[in-house]
Amino acid sequence: MSLPLDSDLLRTFLAVADTGNLTRAADAVRRTQSAVSMQIRKLENQIGLPLFERHSRGVVLTAQGRRLVDNARRIVALLDDTAAAMRLPALDGSVRIGISEEYINSTLPKALGAFAAVHPGVEVTVQQGISMSNLAALEAGEIDIAVVFEPGGRTRNEVLMVDPTVWVTSDQHGTHERQPVPIATYTYVEGGWCDDLAMRSLKKRGIESRIAYVSRTSSGLIAAVVSGLAIAPLSRSAIPPGCRELTEEDGFGIIDMSNVVLRIRREDRSPTVDAMADAIRRAFAAG
């Protein structure tokens, strides 16, 4: 049975990865160079794979090391955030969140789990909806926090991440190779989102297409893609397993750049709402 990864070993691993040098890493974690070397060997033994290649000028990550580094950063950041949050008094009251479907099963559970661990007495309500309805609910005072999409580029609002809209196809079915290309979309009305962005991107590239599936939700579009029925415009972060983005090499490319924005109601803002907003920020930052 494999041993659980020690957070102290992960911190040393990140120090070596960031500095590329055992001596500088030792200074960063306030240990001797021999102790750092021992910790790296211990971590490599636990994982069963080499994490660094040694050179005369220092060390570089192996392919296995590069795979570990992002997860290690998330683990260490979560531990640090949890430790900091636990030193704060538990909050009560309520907080209402409106969020797009794309993040309801991915990023939001991370935020809710971390928040509930520290503030179990807070009553949390989640409203799933499109950005327009969430913004309207925020303006009406029906929710406290909204995570919404807006066009990419400069903005006065707080951007959590940039999540491009891309064409997505099934690896197994190769749906994008059919002629005309079957597509799934949210709407298909003159002047609608599909006409203005997704359909225009196809026309610009001279790609003939036909509407094969219409859905009101992203989950419907994902089902069409996974089944091989159609390709669909999806947020890059929402690409399901077994599917991939259609890139410039495939003759497609990015449809649109979207900012994922955090909006907070200004009136009657409470420490509970601010704490939940912080949890959402951390969840998006962790990826």
Mean pLDDT (the chain, rounded): 87
* pLDDT given at position 238: 87
Residue 241 has a CB neighbour count (10 Å cut-off) of 6
* pLDDT given at position 113: 87
Helix (H) or strand (E) holding 34: helix 33-47
pLDDT tier for residue 85 given thresholds of 50, 70 and 90: low
* pLDDT given at position 5: 77
Whether the per-residue pLDDT at 14 is higher than 70: the answer is yes
Q: Is 78 or 8 the better-scoring residue by pLDDT?
A: 8
Question: What CA–CA distance (Å, rounded) separates 58 from 60?
Answer: 7
Integer angstrom CA distances of residue 40 from 75, 124, 254, 271: 17, 42, 40, 41
* pLDDT given at position 187: 65
To the nearest 10 degrees (0 to 180), the angle between helices 7-19 and 22-29 is: 130
pLDDT tier for residue 192 given thresholds of 50, 70 and 90: very low
- What share of the chain has pLDDT > 90, as a percent? 46
Which of 164, 169, 166, 257 has the alpha carbon at shortest distance from 212? 169
Evaluate whether 68 touches 13 at the Cβ level (below 8 Å). Answer: yes
Whether the per-residue pLDDT at 135 is higher than 50: the answer is yes
> For residue 13, how many C-alpha atoms fall within 13 Å in the half-sphere facing its CB?
30
In order of start, what are the domains of the chain with their CATH numbers? 7-86 (1.10.10.10), 94-152+262-286 (3.40.190.10), 165-256 (3.40.190.10)
- What share of the chain has pLDDT > 70, as a percent? 93
Encode pLDDT of 93-113 as tens digits.
999 999 988 898 888 998 998
Instruction: Pull the structure tokens for residue 140.
Output: 């009406």
* pLDDT given at position 244: 95
Encode pLDDT of 199-236 as tens digits.
888 888 999 999 999 888 888 999 999 999 999 999 89
Which of 190, 171, 157, 191 has the alpha carbon at shortest distance from 260? 157
* pLDDT given at position 219: 87
The whole-model pTM stands at 0.67
* pLDDT given at position 1: 39
Whether the per-residue pLDDT at 268 is higher than 90: the answer is no
